[in-house]
Structure 1
Amino acid sequence: MDTLNIDLWTCDVGAEAASPQAFANLLKERVLESWSKGADVAVLPEYSWMGLERFVSGEDKLAGVADLFWNEIWPGLKAELSRKDRAVVLGTVPFRTPNGTWRNRAPILCGERELHQDKLCLTPWEKVFEGGEALHVWTLHGVKFAVVICLDIEVPEISVALRGRQVDCVLVPSATESILGVERVGRCASGRAVELCAFVGVSQLVGKAESELVDENVGKLAWHAPSQSAFKHSLRETISPVLLEDGFHCLRGELHAKSLRRARKMLVETNPAHLTPGTILVQDDA
C-alpha cells in the first residue's frame, strides 16, 4: 500500500463510566470509529487503562488495574479488535512478569498477531516498574512500525538503535502532566522524524484521575514527516493545540510509503538517516 492512515487519539482517563467494561467500551469504540472511517492503525495514549483504577478496591491499585485489564477486558478486546488488515496500539497498562516484577506494557494487535512493547526508560515516579528489554519492530502492509513509549522518544540511544533498520513509522503513546513534558516529547518526536527519515506520531493522555501515576494530564497530538525533498510539497508537521479539556480527540496522519522509498534512494541530498558516524571522540580542551 502506498498510503496508510494512522489515527492518533487522546484518551480522557477520567471519562465518565459506570463500570470497568463501560470504560473499556469507550476506548474500543474509538478504535472501531477510526477503522470505520478508513484508518489502518489506531493509537491510544500511555496509561489509558489507569482509567480503570477507580473501580479497584483495596490498596494495591496497580495489581487491581492489571487484573481487571488482563483477565477481564483483554480477552474480549482481542476477539473484537483482531482484524486481518488493521492494527491498534492500545495505550499501556501495568503487566506483571512471571518473576513478579512490573512492566509498563503496550498491548498491540497487528492483523491476527498479539504483540507488545514495554517501556524501556522510566521516569522518577515509575519506581514500581522495571524497564523493558527490547524494542520490537513489526510490519503491516509492508510498512515497518516501532512503538516508543513517552520518555523513550527523548532518549537518543533508542534513535541510534533504530538507525539502519528502515523503520517507516514510530508511534509514541505518551502521558505528561505539564506543558514541559508535552514539549520534550513533541520536540524530540520531530527530531526523530528527521534523524530516521520516518513518520512519527504522538498520542497523549488528557483528563484527571484519582491516581498517583496519572492524576492530571495535558497533551498534544502530533504527526511529523521527514524533511526531505520527497516531502517538499506535503504538510510535514501537523500538531494539535494543547489539549487541557476532557474528552477524546483524534488526529489523522497519512503515511506515504512511496515518498519514503523515494527519499531513501536519494543519496545526493543531506539525510542523517544515511549517516553512520561511528564512535565520536569528545575532547575537553578547557
Structure 2
Amino acid sequence: MKDIDTLRVASLQYWLRPIKNFEEFAEQASLWVINAADYKAKVVLFPEYFTLQLFSLHLSALPVPDLVRGVSHLKGLYIELFQKLSQTYEITIIAGSIPAESADKKLIHNECHVFSPNGSHGVQPKLRMTRFEKEDFGVGSPNDAHLKVFEASWGKFAVAICYDVEFPEIVRAAALQGALVLFVPSCTDDRQGYYRVRYCAQARAIENQMYVVQSSTVGGLSRFPAACLNYGQAAILTPSDYGFARDGILAEGVANTETMIVGDLNLKQLRESRANGTVLPLHDAQSGDLISQQVEIVRL
C-alpha cells in the first residue's frame, strides 16, 4: 500500500423525511453519493440511524422495538443499494448504521456497513449502547462485538458509531493500530446530546493526532416519536497543531440543515505530526498504563 498525501472526504447532514417506499429512500441516498462523487470525494459518510427513515413505510406507529426490527428486515436491500453505488461511482461509502438481527434473531444490534469500490464490504457493530437504545429501541451489542480497523488503498481508518466516540480507549486502540482517520456517524435528538458527541470527537482528534469526520441526522418523522427530533451538524475535525486548521475544525455545516460538507485531509502532515509534532500525545500516552497503576490517594 502506497501512502498518499491528501484524501478528500464528504460528510452528510441527512434529512429524515417521510417516504412511501424503499425506492424513495434509495433515490435520496443515491443523490448524496452522486454529489460526493461529483466533488471528487473518495469517501462519503452517512449518519447513524439514517435508516430510521424507513419507519415511515409503516402506516401506523407500532411499538418502537417492532419498528426497529422491521427496518432490520430491509438490510439486504440496503447492502445491495450501497454496494452498487460504491462500485458505480468509485467511492468508499460508510453507510451510517442500520438495525440488524443477530443470527438467532433474538437480539437487534446497531451496525455500520463500509463499502469499497472494489466490491469488498466490512461491518463495524456499535460497541456501547445508550440508555435510549437499550430501553426504548431494544438494541444491544453482539457478544462478539469488537473494534475493527479498515485498510483502504489510501491508509487505515476506523468507525466509532456515535456514543462509542465518548470512550477514549476505543479510539486509542484504533490509533495504535495505525488508523489515520476516525469516522463518526451520529444521531442525536437535542443540542446537549450532539455536543457530547462533538466535543468528544474533537478530543479524540487531539489526543490521537488523527482526523475525525462526523455526520449527523437532521429533520424528523413527525408520526414517530422515536425519530421526530434530530439536532445535527457535520464536521471534519483536526489535531490542534501547526499545519492544521487554526481551531481544529477543517469544515462544518450549518446546524440542522440538509447539506454536505467536503474537506481535504492532509495525511502527509498528519504522519509528520505523529512523528515530530509540537506535542506527541499518541506516542506519549503509551506510558499511560503505568501511570494508572500508580495512583496515590492523598487525604487533606
Give me the TM-score of the superposition, normalised by structure 1. Answer: 0.90
- Structure 1 partner of 2:282: 273
Q: Is the 8 A contact 1:50 1:211 kept in 2?
A: no
Whole-angstrom CA distance in 2 between matches of 1:233 and 1:174: 22
- Structure 1 partner of 2:236: 223
Q: Is the 8 A contact 2:21 2:57 kept in 1?
A: yes
Matched, 1:5 2:17: no
- Structure 2 partner of 1:259: 269
CA separation of 1:113/1:232 partners in 2, compared to 1, >3 Å: closer, same or farther?
A: closer
The secondary structure found in structure 1 opposite 2:133 is coil
Equivalent AA in structure 2 for residue 65 of structure 1 = V
Which consecutive segments of 4 or more residues in structure 1 shift more than 6 A?
none
Whole-angstrom CA distance in 2 between matches of 1:185 and 1:2: 28
Offset of 1:212 from its aligned partner? Answer: 4.6
Offset of 1:163 from its aligned partner? Answer: 4.0
CA separation of 1:228/1:244 partners in 2, compared to 1, >3 Å: closer, same or farther?
A: closer
Structure 1 window deviating more from structure 2 (20-29 vs 81-90): it is: 81-90
- Structure 2 partner of 1:33: 35
- 1:168-179 equivalence runs, <5 A: 168-179=180-191
Offset of 1:241 from its aligned partner? Answer: 5.7
Gaps of 5+ in 1: none
Give me the TM-score of the superposition, normalised by structure 2. Answer: 0.86
What are the superposed Cα offsets for residues 176-231 of structure 1, whole Å, 9 maximum, x if unpaired?
111111111111111111111110011011111233543200111111111233x2
Offset of 1:284 from its aligned partner? Answer: 2.7
Matched, 1:129 2:136: no
Whole-angstrom CA distance in 2 between matches of 1:259 and 1:243: 29
The secondary structure found in structure 1 opposite 2:217 is strand
Q: Is the 8 A contact 1:205 1:219 kept in 2?
A: yes
- Structure 2 partner of 1:90: 95
CA separation of 1:19/1:137 partners in 2, compared to 1, >3 Å: closer, same or farther?
A: same
Whole-angstrom CA distance in 2 between matches of 1:224 and 1:8: 12
Offset of 1:285 from its aligned partner? Answer: 2.1
Offset of 1:157 from its aligned partner? Answer: 2.0
- Structure 1 partner of 2:192: 180
Matched, 1:194 2:194: no
CA separation of 1:163/1:41 partners in 2, compared to 1, >3 Å: closer, same or farther?
A: closer
What is the aligned-residue RMSD (CA, Å)? 2.1
Offset of 1:31 from its aligned partner? Answer: 1.0
Q: Is the 8 A contact 1:11 1:206 kept in 2?
A: yes
Aligned residue-pair number: 280
Gaps of 5+ in 2: none
Offset of 1:109 from its aligned partner? Answer: 0.2
Whole-angstrom CA distance in 1 between matches of 2:193 and 2:104: 32
* Identical aligned residues as a percent: 25
Offset of 1:2 from its aligned partner? Answer: 1.4
Whole-angstrom CA distance in 2 between matches of 1:96 and 1:56: 19
Offset of 1:253 from its aligned partner? Answer: 2.1
Structure 1 window deviating more from structure 2 (155-164 vs 217-226): it is: 155-164
Whole-angstrom CA distance in 2 between matches of 1:168 and 1:155: 18
